[in-house]
Amino acid sequence: MNYKAHKWKWLIGLGFCAAIASGVLWWQFDDQEEFDPMAEFVTPVSRKNAKDAQELMAAVPNQLAAYTSLQANLRQRVNLLGCEMTGAGSYLQGDPHRRQTRLEFRLQFEEAVLSWRQFCDGRSLWSAKKGLDGRTKISRVDLRDIDRQDPQAPNAFAWGAGGLPQFMASLDDAFEFVRVDKGWLDDMPARIVHGRWHPERLEKVIKEEPPPEGEPWDVTLIPDHLPQAIAVTLGADDLFPYRIEFFRANEQGKLVAIVTMELFEVDYRAELTDAQFEFDPGEVEIRDGTQDFLKVLNWTAEN
């Protein structure tokens, strides 16, 4: 399967609809100097270290796609624009070549509980979203129709159609990973990979004149609802993304996490059946999202 990543736009609603990632994390750096994330916007530690970081992140999607059975629980914390939210859910992945994925996620916002469910059996991508008004809206994308209309269309970035492998490919496409450090995840050796936006992606998110050639972007111009940096914690042996953190600088110039997503209780040998990726909408109104979905695919392929 080709896990060509999609463009920057995935990130705008990222932390508020989906989640991923790990148990309680603690790490200690092995003979590493203290990491200053703000400095990483401009200067990587070394060319070799930056190359190692990029190679690690480039390998993750294919590593994930090799699993034909994957089950994990999710949790998420969001602290952005004065709002605090927490969420939890689960993720299932069958054979990626059959596009079997399933995501169920709930997000607590004040007194309201938002939910998002996506089921993909390779033929249809079902989405059921419950919003602040308490109503559940259901849509269906006919993936076979998309294949017929545009056989060259890239794999969709959506938890349903592309799952975790596509999500990680999208991160690698949107961010330039410039540093990797050794650490620990409980008693498991880990690698913490730090990144910043690709300069060409910043042209899309910052509505200002680009800086002179060779000069870095002013990251304070990045809109308030978007991160300025990212850190991905991978298992050193399995390259599994157990934790993903998105950061912005506070008033003191220190980077703080605005979205933390974790995958935990990961099972690579879960006994999954085809029925677990099927969705029964019941007797409700169903919106056909096929053409809208195809338009998004075409847009992302051009940008």
**pLDDT surpassing 60 at residue 101:** yes
Condensed to tens digits (0 to 9), the pLDDT of residues 55-74 reads 999 999 999 988 989 999 99
* pLDDT in the model for residue 302: 58
Residue with tokens 């056989």: 151
Between CA 209 and CA 191 the distance in angstroms is 36
Task: Check pLDDT > 70 for residue 194.
Answer: yes
Contact (Cβ atoms closer than 8 angstroms) between residue 74 and residue 20 = yes
157 or 175: which carries more pLDDT confidence? 175
pLDDT (0 to 100) of residue 177: 93
Per the document, the length of the chain is: 303
The pLDDT tens digits of the residues spanning 279-298 come to 998 888 999 988 888 776 66
Query: What pLDDT, on the 0 to 100 scale, is given for residue 212?
Result: 81
In the prediction, which pLDDT does 20 show?
28
277 in Cβ contact with 117 (< 8 Å): no
**pLDDT-wise least confident of 72-81, 147-156, 199-208:** 147-156
> Is 25 a residue whose pLDDT tops 50?
no
- Please provide residue 278's backbone torsions phi and psi, each rounded to the nearest 5 degrees: -95, 150
* Residue range 28-53: mean pLDDT, rounded: 59
pLDDT at residue number 301? 53
- Average pLDDT over the chain reads 79
What is the spatial distance between Cα 124 and Cα 141, in angstroms, rounded to a whole number? 6
Question: Is residue 274 over pLDDT 50?
Answer: yes
Q: Give the domain ranges of the chain.
A: 24-66+173-272
Q: Kindly state the average pLDDT of the residues 130-159.
A: 74
Inform me whether the pLDDT recorded for 10 exceeds 60.
Answer: no
The DSSP bridge pattern shows strands 112-121 and 83-93 to be unpaired
Per-residue model confidence as pLDDT tens digits over 227-251:
999 999 999 999 999 999 999 988 8
- Confidence at residue 95, expressed as pLDDT on a 0 to 100 scale: 82
**What pLDDT shows up at residue 22?**
24
pLDDT at 34 over 80: no
Q: 266 pLDDT band (50/70/90 cuts)?
A: very high
pLDDT score recorded for residue 39? 53
